[in-house]
Structure 1
Amino acid sequence: MTAPEDEILDSPTPWVADHIRAYLETDGVEGHLFGGWPTLLLTTRGRRSGRLRRTALIYGRDQDRYLLVASNGGADRHPAWYLNLTDTPAVSLQVGPDHFTATARTATAAEKPRLWQIMAELFPQYAKYQEVSARELPLVILTPQVPHGDR
């Protein structure tokens, strides 16, 4: 029996929940590419509830690391998933059929320009989101906890 804190709650946004469901049901065959962009499933621990929360996000790559932009569509507040991983940086990922854990951190000011370029080239809308947002959009680096060959 799964304890309530170990049950994974999917995004309450209907189209995101549908994306997650298709991703899970096909082990990433459907959903890994979404609108032509690579996506992953990120599971974080809720900073207030302690519950596991899952969402689907566009990702980029920097060698063995995965990159995310906490854009929240350019809103002036950070997305909940970002606030959760800043509180508890141990996260779970599904990338296509691969399931693994990772450690999340926000890119430093020195790291961000090069990594931002990767993400803005992948999904140009991020630059537009940054233009309309009153906040600096964080760029998240996810470092897998096992070597890629061991997954």
Structure 2
Amino acid sequence: MAVKDSPTGWVNEHIQKYVATDGAEGHEWRPGVHTLLLTTKGRKSGELRRTALIYQRDGDNYVVVASQGGKPQHPSWYFNLSDDAVVDVQVAADKFQARARTAGPEERDRLWKLMNEVWPDYSEYQKKTDREIPVVVLEPVKG
């Protein structure tokens, strides 16, 4: 099944470079800021959707934030996880399946701090919205 990349222009360009170079271009988006590619299954369309997200490692897991720049609604990829938590992930040249889950309150506090260390704008995004911005843990599927 073909994958549809983010319709946002600069994100789409980022994904194309990432895919074409197996992450050699795009994994490090800015100095010290790394991104992964997350592919979810559309909850309405059933289509595969791919986006690029800033991440941090937490042990064997990968952590991403559903910030959408502080918009009032969660990003589409986050809603897609509610129907199908099994996702495809690419980190540089490494491709694997993971199970996504939203961090609970205590874990979220710790991971929120971890993510703000690499991208302090998350705190500013939280100030723009009444929703609590979800922190998502991607647990690689062993197998």
- Normalising TM by the smaller chain, what interval? over 0.9
1:130 aligns with 2:137: no
Q: Which residue of 2 aligns with 1:26?
A: 21
Q: Which residue of 2 aligns with 1:115?
A: 111
Q: Distance in 1 between matches of 2:21 and 2:108?
A: 34
Q: CA deviation at 1:86?
A: 2.0
1:83 aligns with 2:79: yes
SS at 2:105 equivalent: coil
Identity of aligned residues (%): 53
| Unaligned segments of structure 1, at least 5 residues | 1-5
Q: Distance in 1 between matches of 2:142 and 2:12?
A: 28
Report the AA paired with residue 45 of structure 1.
K
Q: Which residue of 2 aligns with 1:40?
A: 36
Q: Structure 2 length as normaliser, TM-score? A: 0.97
Q: Distance in 2 between matches of 1:118 and 1:131?
A: 18
Report the AA paired with residue 79 of structure 1.
P
Q: Structure 1 length as normaliser, TM-score? A: 0.92
Q: Which residue of 2 aligns with 1:142?
A: 138
- The root-mean-square deviation of aligned C-alpha atoms, in Å, is 0.9
SS at 2:7 equivalent: coil
Per-residue CA shift, 1:7-34, capped at 9, x if unaligned?
Answer: 1000011111100000011000000011
SS at 2:115 equivalent: helix
- Asked which structure has the greater CA Rg, the reply is 1
1:14 aligns with 2:9: yes
